[in-house]
Structure 1
């Protein structure tokens, strides 16, 4: 169990990836992308010179078909309700792009706010949500799609399964408490995504943790350069990925995503009675299972977004600085090209600044606000009337790398999921950013919600 099980699983997945690729090519080459058992038999009948040759060919085909059926059902048992993987994978081809969200009943107001704000930002991507009747949005019952015998489909584990079972080829997954400042459709043109087909985002660079030996036990040699730059390897932190937003081309990355779903399925939980060690006992929830699955499957086509992470909020001693609050005209939300509102004021000094907030901020490669994780309330116990634009005045970036010789922490964890970031500079948010936040807050205040 534990590390040994994951290493053995990685070996099996690599074998399966090779076998599945060959199996799929056999059908695609014969039938121009069409799949089907009867089609293969017809092709064999037409290509063999004798009945004996035909019998041998059919027997070999049947043997390999049986092998693939047993192998796939044992390796990825949660997907068997959808039949064979050829059919599931083929359903992704040319299936377009879209957004997928999961949420529980208490997060309904978050999803409603998120979808309305996306539309206001000009996003016209179709959206699939797991549960709840939303106008213009497809809702799907995952209990009919996933075989969770021996485990329970719930919580964080919903994410990879929702992506896998969505109808799109290219997916942007969003947590319920994620909010974008710009149209997320532009991410499909991101150079890192276009190159790899899998774009991940970084988490806060929290407390130091050495997971190098653990990675050596789990991953096959040689260790990739990407892992050697991963925080779990460099000893910077046990937190590398923020899975609040995940982008995947499912046609290109079918097998790694299958593995991510499995790690959040049958392998997720431990069992003290049997001595089983679950994945969630080895890493923090679902978030590290994405890049880890790619590495375990031997697929290095993935990237962590080059934009910085940080915090959105107010300075801890906000009365020390006067921030600009000049009036401006309304914003063209979908185009985002209102130049006077893009002016930024950055402040720096040797003495550090501190800001505390539950929001984890993600910036684009030009240090503009991209999206945040953690909703817009001051804490998870806030009520609708507590939402205020006054809670957001500045943003701060965390350093790109942690100085391991400096014992001082970059982040301090507080109650109610509040984190405090200390850095040597901060930047005032623009008027456009403020108006985007006001738009989001106005949508949020339309709903009755109880945190």
Structure 2
């Protein structure tokens, strides 16, 4: 019965294995997971270099989607650029016939497919200012076996996501009603650029998150009601009533100092602002990492490097 149930719920698990137990038994140690294809290669290289300057020993797995997603030449470059790093084709571990992975959806599955028991999943354009291993010392992670970061407050009065959650979660923990999303303050709650999971204690919630990022679930429900994968992490754990934790600080900004007069005639004191990219703090409110790469605007043809001289807490 349980084998049939698992096959129905998580059919992508059963590539060269009968049950999830064989995968679970293979998890060991701590490590870093990054998803990257050819399009993310330039971000990946500098991100890994930044990680290695602060954390020289923790093993790294780079996940890609099939042989064409990341070229042979780039895979070779990655494996030679630093110690204890490898590239992994996720389709050799999980069955893509059921996942149909693309874009954001690989992220949750890469955590599941990694050989590590305790995983720090990092976006290819995320850059760390501190040792990534410090994330394992967060009190929330120690308590729950998971750690998430808040996203910026953006697009208020958005009801679609919370209303959808109420249709299939008649009973929730005390957390959802306190979120900015449920209070109508923001469309986004979680930033999924960095996710920490202990699969030894919190595998069931991760499986639920992967389910939300599977082919049919994401196209028909998850990505229609949320912006991509980001909310699927905490909502997946909410679905199976497993505990999860967010870092106890909201994001800030890191970048360049700007001054704006309040009036055109300059009669009012100037407003000082920091303009740049989203910065995330640790539980002690120290700058930990930022996302969106090194460019002032990674989506612009202007390739100017951002001056990371100033930061401001959110």
**Range class of TM-score, shorter chain:** 0.7 to 0.9
Instruction: Show CA shifts across 1:254-296 (max 9, x none).
Output: 11111111111133444xxxxxx33100111000000000000
CA distance in 1: counterparts of 2:291 and 2:222, whole angstroms: 23
Shift of 1:251: 1.2
2:155 to 207, 223, 234: 207
CA distance in 2: counterparts of 1:350 and 1:242, whole angstroms: 35
Describe the shift of the 1:139–1:68 C-alpha distance in structure 2 as closer, same or farther (beyond 3 A): same
Pairing 1:126–2:59 present? yes
2:231 to 250, 274, 288: 288
Pairing 1:88–2:6 present? no
Is the contact made by 2:261 and 2:270 (CA closer than 8 Å) also made in structure 1?
A: no
Aligned to 1:368: 286
Shift of 1:393: 2.8
Once structures 1 and 2 are overlaid, which stretch shifts more, 145-154 or 99-108? 145-154
Larger relative helix fraction: 1
Shift of 1:318: 7.2
Aligned to 1:108: 41
Aligned to 1:237: 186
1:298 to 241, 250, 269: 241
- TM-score of the aligned structures, taking structure 1 as reference length: 0.61
Is the contact made by 2:44 and 2:125 (CA closer than 8 Å) also made in structure 1?
A: yes
CA distance in 1: counterparts of 2:154 and 2:48, whole angstroms: 30
After TM superposition, list the pairs within 5 Å mapping 1:48-197 onto structure 2: 67-81=1-15, 82-92=17-27, 95-131=28-64, 132-133=75-76, 134=78, 135=80, 136=83, 137-149=85-97, 151-197=99-145
CA distance in 1: counterparts of 2:173 and 2:286, whole angstroms: 31
Shift of 1:113: 1.1
Is the contact made by 1:267 and 1:279 (CA closer than 8 Å) also made in structure 2?
A: no
Instruction: Show CA shifts across 1:13-32 (max 9, x none).
Output: xxxxxxxxxxxxxxxxxxxx
CA distance in 2: counterparts of 1:214 and 1:193, whole angstroms: 28
CA distance in 2: counterparts of 1:220 and 1:169, whole angstroms: 32
CA distance in 1: counterparts of 2:144 and 2:209, whole angstroms: 17
Shift of 1:124: 1.6
Is the contact made by 2:119 and 2:197 (CA closer than 8 Å) also made in structure 1?
A: yes
Pairing 1:356–2:278 present? no
Give the SS at the match of 1:199. Answer: strand
Is the contact made by 1:150 and 1:266 (CA closer than 8 Å) also made in structure 2?
A: yes
Instruction: Show CA shifts across 1:139-163 (max 9, x none).
Output: 1111122222255211101101100
In structure 2, the gaps of 5 or more residues are 65-74, 263-267
2:256 to 314, 327, 334: 314
Instruction: Show CA shifts across 1:357-386 (max 9, x none).
Output: 3x2110123332110011110112467973
Q: Which has the larger radius of gyration?
A: 1
Instruction: Show CA shifts across 1:170-207 (max 9, x none).
Output: 00000000000011111111111111100000001111
Give the SS at the match of 1:214. Answer: helix
CA distance in 2: counterparts of 1:73 and 1:304, whole angstroms: 31
Describe the shift of the 1:282–1:360 C-alpha distance in structure 2 as closer, same or farther (beyond 3 A): same
In structure 1, the gaps of 5 or more residues are 1-66, 271-276, 321-348, 399-451
1:258 to 175, 195, 207: 207
CA distance in 2: counterparts of 1:384 and 1:114, whole angstroms: 20
CA distance in 2: counterparts of 1:220 and 1:143, whole angstroms: 36
